[in-house]
Amino acid sequence: MTIVIGFEGSANKIGIGIIRDGEVLSNPRRTYITPPGQGFLPSDTARHHRAVILTVLKEALEQAGLKPADIDCVAFTKGPGMGSPLVTVALVARTVAQLWGKPLLGVNHCIGHIEMGRLITQADNPTVLYVSGGNTQVIAYSERRYRIFGETIDIAVGNCLDRFARVIKISNDPSPGYNIEQMAKKGSQYVELPYTVKGMDVSFSGITSYIEEAAHKMISSGQCSAEDLCFSLQETVFSMLVEITERAMAHCGSGEVLIVGGVGCNLRLQEMMGVMCEERNAKLFATDERFCIDNGAMIAQAGWEMFRSGQVTELEDSWITQRYRTDEVEVTWRD
């Protein structure tokens, strides 16, 4: 049996998870939450992670009922992500690996999401839509790489939603996206917003600029409510995502879609994707917030796959990088 502990802290979540041969033994997590109207800065986020990481590590081991001696490998997020939080988590992972005398593994954050999604849903060879605060990509596996078929050419879909939440002062607790989703359920009027799909790629900066500029005028003039704007924004950006996912499926001849990343637990996105899949006689796979949102177990799972295929990261190579594309990683654990 192979037991891997995974450290994740590339953005405002700090999570440590333990996986034993496909079984999640523990997966505690903490979130750095800022006041409404504010985002999270790298230095403040890193300070939050430093304050709680050892508590989370203790929780992970206790919940799994394991001692450090039981761990076979220590995996951590190498990138992509925010510099200061990544450094904080990598530092602890490196220290722990040396103290415990265990091999170290630097994991690509995006691949962590994909492997966790595959494990939980048992999807075989899906077209993957990876949507979060920092990433928006349509991915499919081919010849030992996760190939990017389409992506955002500017900001991520989650960043678009978060920035809108800041403009109209929606709470960041538990997350801006979740609160937009709840408000959208009460919206009834669709407001037309810029829709930008360029071939296989999408762009969210235009719709973000437009809605940031227009939101207060529209709400104060009574043209629409905040709930209507939440509803309209969701419908528009999710339609763009469904369109490029369907195009990638057609290209790959795929019969499965897997949605991963923090925005992936949005039930409206899952519903819209489900309609498209039904029309194509395809299957939709998605997970809930335990595994969609950044967590340690996903890094442990990707680390488990990598470790089993003979990969380890030497100490001198255990640096982090803010830019680390999904297709840069050789997928040695899939044929």
Return the percentage of the chain with pLDDT > 90, whole number: 100
Which residues belong to the annotated binding site for a divalent metal cation? 109, 113, 130, 294
Q: pLDDT tens across 151-176, in order? A: 999 999 999 999 999 999 999 999 99
Give the model's pLDDT for residue 289: 95
Average pLDDT (251-258) is 97
What is the three-class DSSP state of 181? helix
Mean per-residue pLDDT of the chain: 98
- Asked if residue 138 lies in contact with residue 127, where contact means CB atoms within 8 angstroms, the answer is yes
* Cβ-count burial 225-257 (b if 16+ within 10 Å, e if not): bbbbbbbbbbbbbbebbbbbbbbbbeebebebb
Q: pLDDT tens across 95-123, in order? A: 999 999 999 999 999 999 999 999 999 99
d(CA 237, CA 229): 12
Return the percentage of the chain with pLDDT > 70, whole number: 100
Which residues belong to the annotated binding site for substrate? 130-134, 162, 177, 181, 266
Give the model's pLDDT for residue 285: 98
Residue 321 CA: distances (Å) to CA of 40, 108, 192: 19, 10, 39
d(CA 227, CA 246): 28
Q: pLDDT tens across 293-303, in order? A: 999 999 999 99
- Asked if residue 6 lies in contact with residue 76, where contact means CB atoms within 8 angstroms, the answer is yes
Q: pLDDT tens across 58-95, in order? A: 999 999 999 999 999 999 999 999 999 999 999 999 99
**How does residue 335 score in pLDDT terms, banded at 50, 70 and 90?**
confident
**How does residue 6 score in pLDDT terms, banded at 50, 70 and 90?**
very high
Which residues belong to the annotated binding site? 109, 113, 130-134, 162, 177, 181, 266, 294
Residue 113 CA: distances (Å) to CA of 191, 212, 310: 33, 30, 21
- Asked if residue 148 lies in contact with residue 326, where contact means CB atoms within 8 angstroms, the answer is yes
- DSSP-derived secondary structure letter, 326: G
Average pLDDT (136-144) is 98
Element containing residue 201 per DSSP (H, E):
strand 201-202
Residue 260, pLDDT > 90, answer yes
Query: DSSP string covering 23-86, please?
Result: EEEE--EEE--PPTT----HHHHHHHHHHHHHHHHHHHHHHHT--GGG--EEEEEEESS-HHHH
Q: pLDDT tens across 165-209, in order? A: 999 999 999 999 999 999 999 999 999 999 999 999 999 999 999
Average pLDDT (279-290) is 97
H helix runs in 185-314, sequence order: 205-220, 226-252, 267-279, 289-292, 296-308
